[in-house]
Structure 1
Amino acid sequence: MALSEFSLQYVPQKVVKGQVLADFLAQHPSPYSFGGNNIEVGMVATRDNYWTMYFNGSSTSVSAGMGIVIQSPNHSCWYFSLKLDFDCTNNQAEYEALIIGLDVLHDLRATCVLILGDSELVINQLNGTFRCMSCTLAPYHMVANYLAKSFDGITFKHISRVRNTDADELAQITSGA
């Protein structure tokens, strides 16, 4: 009921192939110009005008799910828990949560965001510390980078699982773990 005021539509991904990025870009045109925007990596300046997103994904042999917690600059919180209806790895579920969270932040017209996740792999790939070498994760990585460019300022930060409990619990519940 709490989400009924938003026009959220979840379309499950059927197959991950090289065409997925082109399809995503065609279905999600951006009103923003990406010419001069850069992804800001590092610490966020202390301001009261940035949004915070916690994300987590979980995959089991039976099911997969994700949890997202978004906090507005005035500290209002939204909780999202989505079940994935396709087989995926834990890292793919993490990227799915990140991408959907970035899309929600974009729809909320957030401009400066702090993204917090306990997946060291995903966060470090987005920061550029790790290279994305997996052909199954590469399309997710490209879409996440594309969405990140739509924000005026964005920071990806790795946090411990203890600091990500709400998103972790939401993901665990939907995946049946």
Structure 2
Amino acid sequence: MALSEFNLQYVPQKAAKCQALADFLAHHPLPYSFRGNDIKIGMVETRNNYWTMYFDGSSTSSSAGAGIVIQSPHHDRWYFSLKLDFDCTNNQAEYEALIIGLGILHDLRVTHALIFDDSELVINQLNGSFRCMSCTLAPYHMVVSCLAESFDGITFEHIFQIHNTDADEFAQIASGAQLLGAS
């Protein structure tokens, strides 16, 4: 309405339908900026050029496994399910999954990563909220800390298990655990 006093003529730009939205956003940047190019989408925070990794570990009386889901900034996804061939606790399996996942990100030359898991213990140890007092987890914590230093930006975030189902299922499959609802 405010522009109706001017003699403006609308001429649609010709573009391929799949490219029209991308072209519009590229030519019309937002007048305000998000904190450091951050955008909140549901429960997950994504950042430009950040890769996302979800991980989980599973330990049963007979086996252990790791599940990892890696997502690129372009939303390509890779799923990993690995059987651990040694006895370990559930928390050790969590750390094993994290170390393997960080190794994959490092091999992909990722510099910025958002890491998500449903283990409050592991995430809070990595964020410094909890001290790692366990002599069985301390070596894992030290390896993860060293690996994390190779990234320019890395964030460890706790999420609820409902938001980590893919990594959880892949970890359970690798450990041979019976999935809920499976016959």
Give the drift of 1:48.
Answer: 2.2
Are the equivalent residues in 2 in contact too, given 1:44–1:155 (CA < 8 A)? no
For residue 80 of structure 1, report the CA deviation from its aligned partner: 0.5
Distance 1:138 1:83 in 2: 22
Letter matched to residue 89 of structure 1: T
Partner of 2:5: none
User: What SS class does the counterpart of residue 109 from structure 1 fall into?
Assistant: coil
**Distance in 2 (alpha carbons) for counterparts of 1:76 and 1:96:** 23
Return the alpha-carbon distance in structure 1 between the equivalents of residues 57 and 146 of structure 2.
20
Q: Deviations 1:109-158 (Å, cap 9, x if unpaired)? A: 11110000001000000000000000000000000000000000000000
Matched residue, 2:66: 66
Residue 113 (structure 1) aligns with:
113
Structure-1 residue corresponding to 2:145: 145
Cα 1:164/1:44, change in 2 over 3 Å: farther
Identify if the C-alpha distance between structure 1 residues 94 and 66 changes in structure 2 by more than 3 Å, giving closer, same or farther.
same
95 and 77 in structure 1: CA distance in 2 versus 1, 3 angstrom threshold: same
Question: Take 1:111 and 1:100, find their aligned partners in 2: how far apart are those partners?
Answer: 16
Consecutive unaligned residues in structure 1, runs of 5 or more: 1-42
Preserved contact between residue 37 and residue 48 of structure 2 (Cα < 8 Å): no
How many angstroms apart in 2 are the aligned matches of 1:127 and 1:45?
22
User: 1:75 & 1:48 partners in 2: Cα distance?
Assistant: 12
Amino acid at match of 1:128: G
Q: Secondary structure of 1:88's partner?
A: coil
Q: Give the TM-score taking structure 1 as reference length.
A: 0.74
Please state if 1:48 is matched with 2:48.
yes
Q: Which has the larger radius of gyration?
A: 2
Paired residues for 1:13-28 under 5 Å = none
Deviations 1:71-125 (A, max 9, x none): 0010000100000000000000000000000000000011110000001000000
The Cα shift of 1:44 comes to 8.2
AA in 2 matched with 1:175: S
- The alignment partner of 2:164 has SS state of helix
Name the amino acid aligned to 2:163.
Answer: R
Q: Deviations over 1:30-83 (max 9, x none)?
A: xxxxxxxxxxxxx98513210000000000001000100000010000100000
Percent of matched pairs sharing the same residue:
78
Match of 1:94 in 2: 94
Structure 2 SS opposite 1:61:
coil
Long gaps (5+) in structure 2: 1-34, 39-46, 178-183
Provide the secondary structure at the position in 2 that maps to 1:130. coil
Offset, 1:176: 1.2
Divergent runs of 4+, >6 A: none
Question: What is the CA RMSD across the aligned residues, in angstroms?
Answer: 1.3
